[in-house]
Structure 1
């Protein structure tokens, strides 16, 4: 038994060294396995940002899902990545004279008519764009946790307050959820700061990669810096971890979008706290494998 353990440990170390320079890998045993976040739900297997995508993530055994929130013409919050409906719905067919089919130019009732699943697969024909309320209720039903992105806040003045209102109404601003089931993020530092100012107990994250010299500007209102994988290295992760966030803990790093084994292991070697992925099962297998 002892020999098998030693062999397995040696193999794991050699694999990590092969994937990343030694200077960019944490000491063996020092890094915890990153949290795996299903990007827009399990979006490699079901249409992104839909209820089936949440369900698929839960079916695969993943606790965390990520989504994107935008606002309709009549003020409803809906879950959709693009500021246009064209890519992931049949808006161009249903409303041929409404190009460029911006979310902000359509009412919630109009968006509710659209098919948000057929573009992905005939299996999902008739899937709808969920409202934020519908999405939150499904996340709760599936006992998942949520990384919620405030999308394009410059297009939707006041969206932060409105999002927090919905979260509160759905019971997501109580201690049980705030203690480890909710993170609100945005590419806009001003939006992240607004969320923190309005609801200081909420865990927040800034998408992107601020310069290392500027990182301390964000530590007062963000608990995590979430850069894309291609901009990441171990030194940057260490620089972020050296900061103390608004809740008294080291600032974390969640990186995106990591969909293959090599990137998953390399990013884990850098010491990231979370991996955001369209293929959470692939990432899990990579981190748990030999």
Structure 2
């Protein structure tokens, strides 16, 4: 049975780190912009401070997108309070996001091992089990989170399990492997190192096994249309404006928060 997280009509549209042409990724203003476009699902990343606070942030280091310096993990929440993304927006905490938008669904990529228990604590405190999906490139980290949560939470496969399911799907074993790995969906690139991942056969076999396939990060309209025609169950995009238009054109929206 599908988890409540996936309760949606039609394919899922996920806004990648919110929506900000100005590069204000993973900030409250970027998430607000995506939600105003009609998005219900936000893809975000989390890392944890030196004093155990889960922050919505992608990189290991601060320099690429903020006016701060060094590893995020070496800073306390108080030290990060003056850091600004692109010199403009503060780095939000996961707790802030969950509290601010109780109807939003969060696809959370857990970027470091230090976030495992703090992430669990935030989800438990907020009672957010039905509105988060646990994701990580590391299946080991992902499974550590799932084992510590008091209630089932949606989860997508990491790199190892994605590869395994790609290999075993022609053998009719994808459903069994997904259940053993505690996977509710696959979130994959269209190609990996030049090798096609999302093919008609792969999508068809996953659908037969009850495994939704979400594809990232798709930023061109023809590719969005082609993948939806192929039957994928979700798209992740930096171009929330474009993806919203595609979804509306196909009759899946509007949905205005």
Query: Which position in structure 1 is the counterpart of 2:200?
Result: 234
Query: Which position in structure 2 is the counterpart of 1:223?
Result: 184
Q: Is the counterpart of residue 278 in structure 1 residue 241 in structure 2?
A: no
Is the contact made by 1:34 and 1:272 (CA closer than 8 Å) also made in structure 2?
A: yes
- Alignment TM-score, normalising by the size of structure 2: 0.80
Query: Which position in structure 2 is the counterpart of 1:104?
Result: 73
Instruction: Provide the C-alpha distance between the structure 2 equivalents of 1:117 and 1:238, rounded to a whole number of angstroms.
Output: 42
Correspondent of 1:202 among 135, 153, 156: 153
SS of the residue corresponding to residue 157 of structure 2 reads strand
Once the two structures are superposed, the pairs formed by residues 60-139 of structure 1 within 5 Å of their partners are 60-92=37-69, 101-118=70-87, 125=88, 127-139=89-101
- Worse-matched range after superposition: 215-224 or 79-88: 215-224
Q: 1:233 to 1:147 in 2, by over 3 A?
A: same
Deviation of the 1:46 alpha carbon: 5.8
Correspondent of 2:137 among 187, 190, 198: 187
What is the aligned residue count?
226
Deviation of the 1:277 alpha carbon: 0.8
SS of the residue corresponding to residue 156 of structure 2 reads strand
Correspondent of 1:213 among 167, 170, 176: 167
SS of the residue corresponding to residue 206 of structure 1 reads coil
Q: Is the counterpart of residue 44 in structure 1 residue 21 in structure 2?
A: yes
- Deviations 1:158-210 (CA, angstroms, capped at 9, x unpaired): x323212101212313xxxx1xx321111111122223323351111124441
Query: Which position in structure 2 is the counterpart of 1:146?
Result: 106
Instruction: Provide the C-alpha distance between the structure 2 equivalents of 1:91 and 1:83, rounded to a whole number of angstroms.
Output: 12
Deviation of the 1:213 alpha carbon: 2.4
Is the contact made by 1:255 and 1:276 (CA closer than 8 Å) also made in structure 2?
A: yes
Is the contact made by 1:139 and 1:146 (CA closer than 8 Å) also made in structure 2?
A: no
SS of the residue corresponding to residue 53 of structure 1 reads helix
Query: Which position in structure 2 is the counterpart of 1:9?
Result: none
Is the contact made by 2:28 and 2:92 (CA closer than 8 Å) also made in structure 1?
A: yes
RMSD: 2.1
Is the contact made by 1:264 and 1:275 (CA closer than 8 Å) also made in structure 2?
A: yes
Q: 1:33 to 1:47 in 2, by over 3 A?
A: same
Q: Is the counterpart of residue 260 in structure 1 residue 220 in structure 2?
A: yes
Once the two structures are superposed, the pairs formed by residues 145-164 of structure 1 within 5 Å of their partners are 145-153=105-113, 156=114, 159-164=115-120
Deviation of the 1:261 alpha carbon: 0.7
Instruction: Provide the C-alpha distance between the structure 2 equivalents of 1:113 and 1:107, rounded to a whole number of angstroms.
Output: 11
Deviation of the 1:217 alpha carbon: 3.5
Q: Which consecutive unaligned segments of at least 5 residues does structure 2 have?
A: 1-8, 169-173, 192-196, 251-257
- Alignment TM-score, normalising by the size of structure 1: 0.71
Q: Which consecutive unaligned segments of at least 5 residues does structure 1 have?
A: 1-31, 93-100, 119-124, 244-249
Structure showing the higher strand proportion among its residues:
2
- Deviations 1:213-266 (CA, angstroms, capped at 9, x unpaired): 2555443211011101223222222233343xxxxxx12111111111111011
* Greater radius of gyration (CA): 1
